[in-house]
Structure formats: C-alpha cells, structure tokens
Amino acid sequence: MTTIKLPEFSNTSADRIPDIVSRVRKTFHSQKTRPAEFRLKQLRKLYWTIVDHEKELMEACQRDLGKGFFEALATEINWVQNDIIFMTKNLEKWMKDEKPADIPLSNWFMSPRIRKDPLGVILVIGAFNFPIQLTLGPVIGAISAGNTVVLKPSENCPNCAAVMQRIVEEALDPDCFVCVQGGIPETSALLEQKWDKIFFTGSARTAKIVAQAAAKSLTPYALELGGKNPAIVTKKADMRLAARRLLWAKTLNAGQVCISQNFILVDKDVASSLIEELKTAIKEFFPNGAKNSEDYSRIVNIQAFNRIKKMLDNTSGRIVAGGTMDAENLFIEPTVIEVTDPKDSLLVEESFGPLIPVMPVDNLDQAISIANEVHETPLGVYAFGSKEETDKVLAGTRSGGASVNDGFFHGTIPTLAFGGVGDSGTGAYRGKASFDCFTHQRSITTTPSWMESMLAMRYPPFAGTDKLKQYNKMALLKPDFDRQGNKKVSLLWWLLTLGTGSASKGAFRVAVLVGAFVALRMLMGGRVLRNSNGEWLIIQVKS
C-alpha cells in the first residue's frame, strides 16, 4: 500500500479563464519574460521542482496509467529534466541575432539580421498518453522562447495533471505561467480566448475543433496528432530482430504511443516466421505474463479499453498470440492478429493499444501500396529489410518521421525535431525545434543615413530618368538556364570543373588524372623528379 499523498485534481472554473489569460497577456507586454536571465531562472527552478516532486510524479504515472518505474523515469520525468538542461545550455546561443545567408552585396550595409522574438501568449493542450512529457515539453520550449504560457494537461490522467499544477505553481512566476485544469468545457473556454500560438497534442478529431477555433482569430498552431503508422518487413530482414524491436514499440505504455506501428505488412514467405518470433519475444519480455509484469502499463480508462476491445471484436483476422483482457483492471495482453484484408478494422483505425496486426503481402510494392492507401501521411514509417528495400520504402511513402530497422527509434531522440506531416500534424518541436516553434524570426535591417544619395533611385519621379537602369544594374539577376529548362554552363566553368558542376570535384578529378598519369609513366619506366625548391613535378621518360 503506497503512502505517497497526491494533490487533488479539480477543474478550473471556466469563469476564471478570461482573467487568467488577460493577466498573462499583460505580463507578456510588460517585457518581463524577454531577458535571457528570466527565462533561464524559470527553467532552472522548474528543473529542481521536478526533482523535488519526482516520487509524486512516479506515483501519479502509476495510478493514471500503471506505468512502471523505468518508463515513468525514462519517458516522462528524466525526459523533461534532460530537456530543461539542454535548453539552458543552448538558450543564449539560440537567442542571438542570426546573420542571414545569401544577402546580395548591395544590401550588406543595411545589416540584415534575424532577431529571435517571442510569439507572445501560448496555449499548450496536452494528451494523456505521456501526460508529463507531452505537456511540460512544449511548455519548456515556450518559456525558452520568452513567452507567457497557459497549459492544460489531459484530464484523463488526473493525478499527473494535479502534480504538474503543483510543480508549476511552486516553480514558476504565477503572472506568466498558469496551469488550467479541465476537460472539454474548460478547453472550449480556453479556445475562445485570443492566443499567439496554440500547441495541441491529441487526436485528429479534437485537432479539427482546435484549428477551427484558431481560424476565427487567425491564430497560428502546432498540431501533434496520431497516425496509422505502417511497419514493413521484407524477406531479407532479420526476423528475430524485427519482432523484438516491433514488440518493444507496441508494448511500451501498452501501445498507447502515437508513433508506434499500427500494423505490420510482411512478405508472405516469412510471415509465419515473424509471428513465431513475436511469440518468442513476448515470452522473453514478460516471462511471467504481461499481466504480472510491473513493467507493463494499463489502458487509460474504460472508454479506451472498450474502443480497443471493439476493434478486436470487429476484426476478420485470427488471433495468433495473446487476446486476454480484463476490463476491471484495464488490462489488455499484447495480442498478435493475422489479418488478410487491408480494409480490416485493425488497419484502418488507430488502435492506440497493444494490438499487433500482421498482414502477409506478396511483395514490397504491394506493401507500399497498402501503406499509402491506409494513410497517405502517417506520423511514422518503419522499414525492415536490405538497404535497397528500406530506401524504396522511404522513397515510396511520406510520414512525419521514420525509423529504419527499428520501431520508433527516431522518436526517442529527445533533441531531434519531432512532428507530423499532412493530417498527422503541423509543426515540430524538441531540441532547438522547441525554441524555434515558439519564436518569431523577425527580419530586420538598419539603413544608414549616409546611404541616402545611393538610395535616391527608388524615389519618384521615374519617367524620363535612368533610375530603372541603375536599379537593374544592382538588382536584376541573369538566368543561368535556357528556355528548355536546362542549366547553361560556360566553357570556362566546364573546363574548371571538368563537367562536374563543382570546382572541388573538378580539382579532385584533375588530381586523380595527374596521379594516374604519373603512375602510368613510372610503370612504363619513367621517373618523377622535383626541382631544387621541391615545387614542381617533372616527368622524365627513359627512351
């Protein structure tokens, strides 16, 4: 029996929301959040408050999702701690003005630069499956970029939400950062407010509501959504390795992971071997059964449990491993199902649970075609096979990210930009992308007064003057392509680059040719000499 007492979850009254938002907006306009020192202090205080509440967070993860200690630390608590340290180490460097590339010489005197401005007041709406990481992660980015923030954790993990509120209130400046609690009514009230950016993680269904609300005031947003992610396994793949890696991706957080594969398309010649390896891997991961494992999470609530159960009830596939369910304990065993119909419920709906449909296919082309039919732009794609085959999968599909020879490895690198494409999401975050996501890149120039006479050509009157000619001399570019769309190459450039289009490649080719020539001469009995200064090669051939 645990002794850790957790704070109570309670909804924020929707009536308070306009005042909260106006308070953080007023603070934003006071410029309080702009200095680097302020941002760094907030992040550092947040770090230590998370450390102080680590046990409460672990307990909350256990009560809300049955998360074991390894997952709670690695994917939630330590994850956000690392995020803070990475941000604080890099923030001042990222905040500096940037010198843009490719500015024409004639504009250098105006000192073109990109200033990193905060966007303003940010709303972060979290999802339930990684309640801490997916809520505090974007908040860390928004603080780093100098914004004020209102965060709304998922009400479906009430214990995590309540502990996060305590942490935010203890660590952060209350005029800048506020945690609002609640479900649909409270989120709807938040969406009625004016924001400078909304960062939403959750389902495509809710994302449409968020995007519609944002459209009313032309508010920008980032949407981090789900996907019916395919895994493709060819004959040339290592079946044991593919099975273990894909099982890991479907049993972490009991498959409640937006980037885990939704289904596996496997070459029919090796389908039974992959299924056998999946069965073996299940026994290895959970020697006493998943139900008795402290490392295996539970489904978040009975609605989600029933939804996953219904998907399994509706499949025309055949359960080949697992299948046990316990509604009272919200337990679903890792379940492998052999499927034959690409329209099967297990393929076309996002399971967001530990279901592992395996569908045999005739060849790689068919696998790519089915993957694209199920979801044109999923969040992730996972390819197992030879280099040539996995390259073909990458070239034949689109997705937010992809891992080759693994389940969602790319999504476990905390500093690699993470986001969807098309209907799996808009915008990316993590690492530097988190700073950029909440920063406005403000292009700035300063025109020196002494340039006035040089700029006179831009002022009317123009008729009867040669101002356009002068202007074109400075600004008009010449095309380096012909009317057929081919690049024009001057003879001099061709000679310099030996037709490679690059001076360094050309120089390399010259070196190779000279080397080959010297070697040949020596083989034919020649000698290679240098002059007295050691500067020149002289090739002397014996007659």
Which residues lie near ligand NAD (CB under 6 A)? 125-129, 134, 152, 154-156, 183-184, 187-188, 201-203, 206, 209, 224-226, 258, 350, 352, 379, 420, 425
Backbone angles phi, psi at 134, to 5 degrees: -75, -15
Q: With respect to ligand NAD, which residue has the nearer C-beta, 256 or 390?
A: 256
CA distance 468 to 222: 43
CA distance 502 to 153: 53
Q: Which residue is nearest to ligand NAD (CB)?
A: 226
Taking CA 123 as the corner, what is the angle to CA 121 and CA 127, rounded to the nearest 5 degrees?
Answer: 160
Helix axes 184-191, 17-29, angle to 10 degrees: 40
Q: With respect to ligand NAD, which residue has the nearer C-beta, 55 or 310?
A: 310
Q: With respect to ligand NAD, which residue has the nearer C-beta, 134 or 140?
A: 134
Nearest CA to 166 out of 46, 247, 262 is that of 46
Which residue in the block uniquely carries the two structure tokens 């630069």? 113
Q: With respect to ligand NAD, which residue has the nearer C-beta, 164 or 379?
A: 379
Q: Residue 214 in 3-state DSSP?
A: helix
Tokens of 188: 């709807």
For the question of residue 338 being annotated catalytic, the response is no
| Smallest gap from residue 74 Cβ to ligand NAD (A) | 16
Instruction: Evaluate whether 177 touches 149 at the Cβ level (below 8 Å).
Output: yes
| Smallest gap from residue 353 Cβ to ligand NAD (A) | 11
Q: With respect to ligand NAD, which residue has the nearer C-beta, 354 or 425?
A: 425
Nearest CA to 86 out of 94, 96, 74, 75 is that of 94
Q: With respect to ligand NAD, which residue has the nearer C-beta, 146 or 427?
A: 427
Residue 383 host element (H or E):
strand 380-384
Burial class for 359, CB neighbours closer than 10 Å (0-12, 13-18, 19+): buried
Q: Which residues contact 392 (CB under 8 A, 6 or more apart)?
A: 364, 368
| Number of alpha carbons in the 13 Å side-chain half-sphere of residue 349 | 15
Q: With respect to ligand NAD, which residue has the nearer C-beta, 33 or 219?
A: 219
Instruction: Evaluate whether 154 touches 131 at the Cβ level (below 8 Å).
Output: yes
| Smallest gap from residue 475 Cβ to ligand NAD (A) | 44
Q: Given the residues 56, 76, 186, 224, select the one marked as catalytic.
A: 224
Is it true that the peptide bond before 360 is cis, omega within 30 degrees of 0? Answer: no
Instruction: Evaluate whether 95 touches 143 at the Cβ level (below 8 Å).
Output: no
| Rg of the chain (C-alpha set) | 30
| Smallest gap from residue 137 Cβ to ligand NAD (A) | 9
| Smallest gap from residue 129 Cβ to ligand NAD (A) | 5
Q: With respect to ligand NAD, which residue has the nearer C-beta, 62 or 260?
A: 260
Instruction: Evaluate whether 443 touches 112 at the Cβ level (below 8 Å).
Output: yes
Q: With respect to ligand NAD, which residue has the nearer C-beta, 163 or 225?
A: 225
CA distance 102 to 36: 29
Q: With respect to ligand NAD, which residue has the nearer C-beta, 35 or 183?
A: 183
Nearest CA to 177 out of 27, 10, 50 is that of 27
Q: What ranges make up the beta strands (E) of 395-512?
A: 401-404, 418-419, 425-426, 428-429, 439-444
| Smallest gap from residue 199 Cβ to ligand NAD (A) | 10
| Smallest gap from residue 375 Cβ to ligand NAD (A) | 12
Helix locations, 476-540, DSSP H: 491-497, 503-523
Burial 62-71 (b: 16+ CB within 10 A, else e): bbbbbbbeeb
Residue 347 identity (one-letter amino acid)? L
| Smallest gap from residue 245 Cβ to ligand NAD (A) | 20
The catalytic residues are 224
